[in-house]
Structure 1
């Protein structure tokens, strides 16, 4: 599916106020979901989920302060997302989180999960230390190379 068509579909969803639109063209399919933030109805997040070999696009409107917070941390202490997907702190909705702020983690410990294309991918700590900050809420969409968790030295 052509990227121009996808952009027009995004604009259609934004202008019409509909919550979800799914279009299938041959073997390619695109689903556009619009979620409204409960604290600010003017902020919207567009997530496009693609199937088959169609391109994947994510059009998010974030505050500049959210982007700036990532640059305040040392890269060696930051766990970054290796893929685009949905971030989870626990393996199930009622389960204990894999890590919490203040918790000590060892290199190789699973600290979060990213769901991508219906596959649950465990993300492991790349170093030992104390979890000082979790930058993403469980259930939020994450981008490739997005900072997720800060692990500080003991």
Structure 2
């Protein structure tokens, strides 16, 4: 390896985003190790405080809907532990939205468990009254996912 080659390697390394580079050559025995001392500076960001925030409990939502509508309500629950997704892929339209009419067997969401996408289907005909889980959030076995107002 020539001296000019070493200078070229150093020049390219300094222009790159690499923080460390090690080159070993067996014939003739040669080793070069380069590293940059990049210190990351942190910034303190002030986050506004939310006062008097109380999350709505699922039980309160279900009770409220039953009292409001005075109609038959059906709850769709998660059959497994995993991650809840409203759409088939990021950026795609959700399977259903609140207010949508759904038929028995229609896909409502996906619950991902161990890299397997499990489609959760409606077991009744009705209108999606509420979606109880946010997209991308973990769900437990038996956790309530949807409130469906049954067709009379």
TM-score range, shorter chain: 0.5 to 0.7
Give the TM-score taking structure 1 as reference length. Answer: 0.55
Residue equivalent to 2:133? 136
Provide Cα deviations, 1:23-66, integer angstroms capped at 9, x if missing partner. xxxxxxxxxxxxxxx887xxxxxxxxxxxxxxxxxxxxxx7843
**Unpaired runs of at least 5, structure 1:** 1-37, 41-62
Aligned length: 96
RMSD: 2.6
Name the CA distance, whole Å, in 1 between partners of 2:140 and 2:61.
Answer: 13
Max Rg structure: 2
Give the TM-score taking structure 2 as reference length. Answer: 0.55
**Superposed counterparts of 1:1-154, under 5 Å:** 65-69=56-60, 72=63, 77-154=74-151
| Runs of 4+ with >4 A deviation | 73-76
Q: Name which structure has the greater RCO, CA cutoff 8 Å, separation 6+.
A: 2
SS, match of residue 77 in structure 1: strand
Structure with the largest fraction of strand? 1
